[in-house]
Amino acid sequence: MKTRKKPLFRSRITVILRNDRPKDEVKAMAYELLQQWIDESSRIVFFGGAGVSTESGIPDFRSVDGLYNQKYDYPPEQILSHTFFVRKPEEFFRFYRDKMLPLDAEPNAAHRKLAEWEKEGKLAGIVTQNIDGLHQKAGNRKVFELHGSVHRNYCEKCGKFYTPEFIRDYPGPVPKCECGGRIKPDVVLYEEGLDNDVVSGAVHAISKADLMIVAGTSLTVYPAAGLVRYFRGKHLVLINRDATPMDSECDLVIHDKVGVVLSALT
């Protein structure tokens, strides 16, 4: 499949807004432009990372205040690896229950806006690196969860599915199925590959989109970040608190919180 070439000079505008240089007139222009693109679009694809969920109180894997600020003997990357899950399931589930199951978290302004767009028929799909299920909780149905979901858990032996509440409330250290098999959360751990159907669904949606909004991700997580290369539509927009390696390739870049930007749009 062909991937998107570098920006074409005749049709690309890059407006970079930085938090430390607030210029109201530039900001207003950028929002106006983005609103116009959204109004014209009927196939928006939203690609979201951890920054979409932080406003719902879910810590970013990689933030200092998130999972790193913790009381475990191993770094999160090691705990959340396939090898660790197999070798030290008690430690894995202690961490997982404590840090990865924010079941009372609620969708924020970004999730709610995306749900509106799907209802209006403007949104072709959401591709997400998050595993919290908040897009579905907000009402979205077309969601490609690249890294799986804490809402699905299955028995490694017989395949029976279990709810996240079952994992949270299980009386022993490692949740077990009624058949005796160990239950594994359907999340993609380090060393594990992404689900082929999810990836091809995401690639298809991205390659057919006319507007792509990448948000809340530094685009440093591969292979997920490479999916952006399949976009061949008109406008590529990036919303992120900090600068990313892809800023210069986008048509519009807004350095701000995702919920703040999306809630200002209709």
Nearer to Zn ion, 181 or 233 (CB): 181
How many residues touch Zn ion under the rule CB under 5 A: the total is 7
Decide if 147 is catalytic. yes
Nearer to Zn ion, 172 or 193 (CB): 172
- Is 155 one of the binding residues for Zn ion (CB under 5 A)? yes
User: Closer CB to Zn ion, residue 61 or residue 162?
Assistant: 162
Rounded Cα–Cα distance for residues 163 and 144 (Å): 19
Q: Which of 7, 66, 89, 181 binds Zn ion (CB under 5 A)?
A: 181
Assigned token pair, 32: 């106006």
Residue pair 112/138 in contact (Cβ under 8 Å)? The answer is: yes
- Told to check if 158 binds Zn ion by CB under 5 A, we report yes
Contact flag: residue 86 with Zn ion (CB under 5 A): no
- Bridge partners (DSSP) listed for residue 182: 176
Asked if residues 190 and 148 have their Cβ atoms less than 8 Å apart, the reply is: no
Strands 148-155 and 183-187: antiparallel
- Of 15-23, 171-179, 226-234, 257-265, the segment contacting Zn ion by CB under 5 A is 171-179
| Given 141, 157, 223, 266, the residue binding Zn ion (CB under 5 A) | 157
Q: Which of 26, 179 has the CB closer to Zn ion?
A: 179
13 binds Zn ion (CB under 5 A): no
CA 185 to chain centre: 17
Q: Please give the structure tokens belonging to residue 46.
A: 């939203």
Q: Does 166 bind Zn ion (CB under 5 A)?
A: no
Taking the alpha carbons of 106, 108, 110, 114 in that order, is the dihedral positive or negative?
A: positive
* Residues of this chain that bind Zn ion (CB under 5 A): 155, 157-158, 160, 177, 179, 181
Enzyme catalytic residues? 147
